[in-house]
Amino acid sequence: MKVLHVDMSECKTHVEEVDEEFALKYIGGRGWGARLVWEHMKEGTDPLSPENIIVIAPGPLSGLYLPSSGKTSICSISPTTGIYGDSNIGGMFGVELRQAGFDAVVIKGKAPDLSYLWIDDDDIQLKSAGKYAGMGSIETEHQLREDIGDETVKVASIGPAGEKMVKMACITADWGRNAGRTGMGAILGSKNLKAIAIRGTRDLPVADLKRLTRLSDKAYKKLSQHNLFEFWQRQGLMSVIDYANTAGIIPTHNFKDTHFEEADKINGDVMELEYKIGDTACFGCPMACGNVNLVKDGKYAGTVIEGPEYETAAMFGSNVGVSDFSAILRANYLCDEYGIDTITAGSLISVMIEAYEKDLVTLEDLDGMALNWGDDESVMEMIRKIAFREGVGDTLAEGAYGVIERWPQLAPIISHVKGLDQSAYDARVAMTMALGYATSDIGAHHARAWPIAKELEMGGNWDLNEKADLVIYHQTVRPLFDMLGVCRLPWIELGFDENTYAEFFSAAVGIEFTLEELLKLSNDVYNLTRAINIRLGLTRDDDRPPERVFNDPIKTGPHAGKVLNRDEFREILDIYYQRRGWDVDGIPTDETLKASGLEDAIEYMEPKRKAE
Amino acid sequence: MRKKLTVIPERCSGCRVCELVCAISHAGVNNPKKANIRVISLYPHPVIKMPVVCDQCKKPQCRDACPADAIVVTDGVVTILEDRCISCHACVSACPIGAIFVHEDIETPFKCDLCGGNPKCVAACPKKAILYVPEHTLGQAHRLVSALQYANMQEVEYFEHGEKKKLRYAEIETGGTRGDSREH
């Protein structure tokens, strides 16, 4: 297995072989990324400086014949949060990287001029990207393919926001797939790396292809027989709008409420019947959750976009009070083309609308543009201002921390953890969700834990121990998918047996692994990212859910009046630390680190303990 | 009864499962670039996804272009005879839909062989975008659309179990000619 190292400053690349011990200990994807970040990091390094590295790593299952094997992790120290950050991306990009012969790319330094990386199997070149400067992500991808002269080349790129190091900038691949969270696009921007184009033709290694084929033939068949399979293909994650609204967890008016009166104007049915023109799937995925939508008339006519999925529809729908689905599509398109994260952008725009409503900011602060709930045109203008760092957009481009620095009075109404804005699930209705956000290693994102549905469904009588255990289980199994390079949706949405992934992995590498063994390795990586974060100054105080969770009872809907209790949260955090083998300050104990094979982290934890 | 492979681009999600199962069963490796079928995905100018696979033409241009007489039609399957093939790629250029493929690891061009009458891509396609149908039914979908689009239809409304229903029909001698009365 090979890692491609790219030094942008020296304009040099070299290839390193990965030894088997490393490969199997960290599996791939997020595991490899976290370990490589750990080995290169230095305290005090600015995430946007040339010294920070960014790792792009598919997993050992990426590109193989098994359901939904198109995932790639992108890992670094995040400019949004200042701690470990990663975001995963679907599509085909990582598969092509593996077919070119690389299981990861590690990028450091800063090119003198805007460049792109061209990986044509083992022919690697850094080329000028001058002609793509300022170009949107979707257009960049289109143009690069055209210039290379091969429509099958896979491209990941940043838009103008990434070039301007907007801290919510994402990396876009395969037109509509985004590594959206934690500002990974800003890091590419800081390195003057506009895009990576790949063409790979190699066979992917599979130790026992017959066994894999047998397993996967069955797996695809099983998924296709699920009673929600076809519905999933039709609506994908857009079906979550109705669920979240009925369950009372949909973010509404900047997370003030959890129920949106006009949800039936922005749901999966509206999309399917009025806007959808086609399906899109990531590599090898039968579920095809992607929806290509087109606005056929009205002021946004001609807007075509892969998306939205649930998060985007909620953040640019209910959360900003917009009930016009074509406006959501437009917002989605602008975010993708400029290259910014729809969750953070939607969240911070809704914060500013509420701030203006409550006179917490002046019209002057907003460059003279009044912001009101449901005013879609001002939402579009705010997206543009963030992406190009204009006026108030320049402050929002710094993320939650930047907004709070300028307007400390907004801190109570920004729903974030560690500087990363919360995903589109309200945490007030479920302690597990609050704990999941609070202890997620990258900030308030649902990728690590999404226990909310289970708690709402059956958690009425759970004690805090059971709740903490569920969060830890989620934080162990969900990141495992990111390590393997596959999507978790067949498991979480269609009930696909997670044990099968251990069999897929065993067939791929030729060594038997059980799910328990893989989960242990995933837990080890969680301890590793915790160690990274502790090294970077994270403390117990940072492990807290958004303020609104404790201060601001839900006003309407099925959970009206609901708010979480601060003392109870303190209590569950103690339990959570204890069960993870972390001390009362949230620092992994020596025993825990040893058990995770992270002896080299011990020396870095000791000074932090003494400082307490 | 002879069957033909046909594709419905509107259904294709671009997942490339067809490429995977084809490459594994024919080339014996997990490499979609060695498949006898390829999904072309274009976006955003224009937006379309389409699996490209051999039509098994009855008068194949690839055969006519072959200088080595290495392409034959046997039982409705266009086959490249590897021992005769000189790998000049004339057939690759001649195929009007680009359904003959090459790869640097493989000596001669390769193409769909219908898996001996049980195409794996058809069974594997999660979107049912690749069909294996009796030859005489090709074009049926277009014929159906043509009939449905006939403009000179009458409509009656009626109630069944209290539910309002509509019936459309074409009445004798009420229309024009088919060609000038289709909806567009």
Q: Chain B contacts of A138, Cβ < 8 Å? A: 43-44
- Residue B177: what pLDDT? 56
- Give the 3-state secondary structure of residue A202: coil
Please tell me the distance in Å from B112's CA to the nearest CA on chain A. 19
Q: Is the model's pLDDT at B178 over the cut of 90?
A: no
Kindly state the average pLDDT of the residues A230-249.
96
From the list B10, B44, B126, the residue facing A220 with the nearest CB is B126
- Residue B174: what pLDDT? 60
Name the one residue in this structure whose structure tokens are 């979707």.
Answer: A138
Q: Chain A contacts of B12, Cβ < 8 Å? A: 279
CATH number of B3-135: 3.30.70.20
User: What is the DSSP code string of A59-79?
Assistant: -TTTTSSSTT---EEEEEE-T
Looking at the complex, does the CB of residue A565 fall below 8 Å from at least one CB of chain B?
Answer: no
Question: Could you read off the pLDDT of B37-78 as tens digits, one per residue?
Answer: 999 999 888 899 999 999 999 999 999 999 999 999 999 999
CA distances from A140 to A144, A506, A557 (A): 6, 39, 44
- Residue B176: what pLDDT? 57
Please tell me the distance in Å from B171's CA to the nearest CA on chain A. 32
Kindly state the average pLDDT of the residues A73-83.
98
- Give the 3-state secondary structure of residue B38: strand
> Cβ–Cβ of B126/A201 closer than 8 Å?
no
High-pLDDT (> 90) share of chain B, %: 76
Interface A–B counts its CB contacts (< 8 A) at: 92
Question: Could you read off the pLDDT of A86-127 as tens digits, one per residue?
Answer: 999 999 999 999 999 999 999 999 999 999 999 999 999 999
Q: Is the model's pLDDT at A215 over the cut of 70?
A: yes
CA A203, chain centre distance (Å): 29
Interface test mutation site (partner A, options B30, B41, B45, max chain A beta carbons within 10 A): B30
Residue A557 binned pLDDT confidence (cut-offs 50, 70, 90) = confident
From the list B13, B43, B104, the residue facing A175 with the nearest CB is B43
Could you check whether the bond before residue B46 is cis, i.e. omega within 30 degrees of 0? yes
Q: Chain A contacts of B102, Cβ < 8 Å? A: none
Domain A230-421 CATH assignment equals 1.10.569.10: yes
> Cβ–Cβ of B20/A304 closer than 8 Å?
no
Looking at the complex, does the CB of residue B52 fall below 8 Å from at least one CB of chain A?
Answer: no
Q: Is the model's pLDDT at A472 over the cut of 50?
A: yes
> Cβ–Cβ of A138/B44 closer than 8 Å?
yes
Question: Could you read off the pLDDT of B84-110 as tens digits, one per residue?
Answer: 999 999 999 999 999 999 999 999 999
By the 8 A CB rule, do B127 and B55 touch? no
> Cβ–Cβ of A151/B47 closer than 8 Å?
no
First to last CA, chain B: 36
- Give the 3-state secondary structure of residue A519: helix
Within chain B, strands assigned E span 3-7, 38-42, 48-52, 71-74, 77-80, 130-134, 154-160, 163-169
Q: What is the mean pLDDT of chain A?
A: 97
Alpha-carbon distance of A342 to A115, in angstroms, equals 26
> Cβ–Cβ of B127/A209 closer than 8 Å?
no
Half-sphere exposure of B124 (CA within 13 A, CB side): 28
Kindly state the average pLDDT of the residues A537-544.
97
Looking at the complex, does the CB of residue B58 fall below 8 Å from at least one CB of chain A?
Answer: no
Kindly state the average pLDDT of the residues A289-313.
96
Half-sphere exposure of A390 (CA within 13 A, CB side): 11
Question: Could you give phi then psi for residue B55, rounded to 5 degrees?
Answer: -85, -5
Question: Could you read off the pLDDT of A417-445 as tens digits, one per residue?
Answer: 999 999 999 999 999 999 999 999 999 99
- Residue B184: what pLDDT? 46
- What count of other Cβ atoms lies within 10 Å of the Cβ of residue A391? 16
The interface predicted TM-score of the complex, written ipTM, equals 0.95
Question: Could you read off the pLDDT of A129-153 as tens digits, one per residue?
Answer: 999 999 999 999 999 999 999 999 9
Q: Chain B contacts of A223, Cβ < 8 Å? A: 126
CATH number of A2-199: 3.60.9.10
Kindly state the average pLDDT of the residues A503-517.
98
Residue B175 binned pLDDT confidence (cut-offs 50, 70, 90) = low
Looking at the complex, does the CB of residue B46 fall below 8 Å from at least one CB of chain A?
Answer: no
Chain B contacts in chain A segment 145-184 (CB below 8 A)? 151-152, 175
Alpha-carbon distance of A276 to A183, in angstroms, equals 29
> Cβ–Cβ of A288/B42 closer than 8 Å?
no
**A435 contacts: CB under 8 Å, gap ≥ 6:** A449, A467, A468, A471, A545, A569, A572, A573, A576
Looking at the complex, does the CB of residue B173 fall below 8 Å from at least one CB of chain A?
Answer: no
Kindly state the average pLDDT of the residues A361-379.
98
Q: Is the model's pLDDT at A372 over the cut of 50?
A: yes
Looking at the complex, does the CB of residue B14 fall below 8 Å from at least one CB of chain A?
Answer: yes
Looking at the complex, does the CB of residue A209 fall below 8 Å from at least one CB of chain B?
Answer: yes
B10 to chain A: nearest residue by CA? A278
Alpha-carbon distance of A154 to A100, in angstroms, equals 11
Please tell me the distance in Å from A203's CA to the nearest CA on chain B. 5
Going from N- to C-terminal start, the domains of chain A cover 2-199, 230-421, 431-611
Looking at the complex, does the CB of residue A221 fall below 8 Å from at least one CB of chain B?
Answer: no
Helix-helix angle A464-484:A431-439, to 10 degrees:
50
Q: Chain B contacts of A200, Cβ < 8 Å? A: 33
| Token couple for A115 | 């460049």
Q: Is the model's pLDDT at A199 over the cut of 50?
A: yes
CA distances from A458 to A144, A177, A473, A478 (A): 50, 33, 16, 20
Q: Is the model's pLDDT at A47 over the cut of 70?
A: yes
Kindly state the average pLDDT of the residues A268-288.
97
Of the candidates A146, A11, A155, the one whose C-alpha atom is nearest the C-alpha of residue A93 is A155
Which region holds residue A586: left if phi is over 0, alpha if psi is between -120 and 50, else beta? left
For A431-611, CATH number out of 3.40.640.10, 1.25.40.10, 1.10.1040.10, 1.10.599.10 equals 1.10.599.10
Question: Could you give phi then psi for residue A412, rounded to 5 degrees?
Answer: -70, -15
Looking at the complex, does the CB of residue B123 fall below 8 Å from at least one CB of chain A?
Answer: no
**Cα angle for residues A197, A198, A203 (degrees, 5° grid):** 170
> Cβ–Cβ of B13/A281 closer than 8 Å?
yes
Question: Could you read off the pLDDT of A4-37 as tens digits, one per residue?
Answer: 999 999 999 999 999 999 999 999 999 999 999 9
From the list A201, A285, A306, the residue facing B15 with the nearest CB is A285
Please tell me the distance in Å from A230's CA to the nearest CA on chain B. 9
> Cβ–Cβ of B44/A281 closer than 8 Å?
no
> Cβ–Cβ of A286/B17 closer than 8 Å?
yes
Looking at the complex, does the CB of residue A101 fall below 8 Å from at least one CB of chain B?
Answer: no
> Cβ–Cβ of B15/A175 closer than 8 Å?
no
Alpha-carbon distance of A5 to A13, in angstroms, equals 5
Kindly state the average pLDDT of the residues A476-486.
98
Going from N- to C-terminal start, the domains of chain B cover 3-135, 143-179
| Token couple for A588 | 């992994």
Looking at the complex, does the CB of residue B102 fall below 8 Å from at least one CB of chain A?
Answer: no
Which helix or strand (DSSP H or E) is residue A466 part of?
helix A464-484
Could you check whether the bond before residue B60 is cis, i.e. omega within 30 degrees of 0? no
Looking at the complex, does the CB of residue B118 fall below 8 Å from at least one CB of chain A?
Answer: no
Q: Is the model's pLDDT at A611 over the cut of 80?
A: no
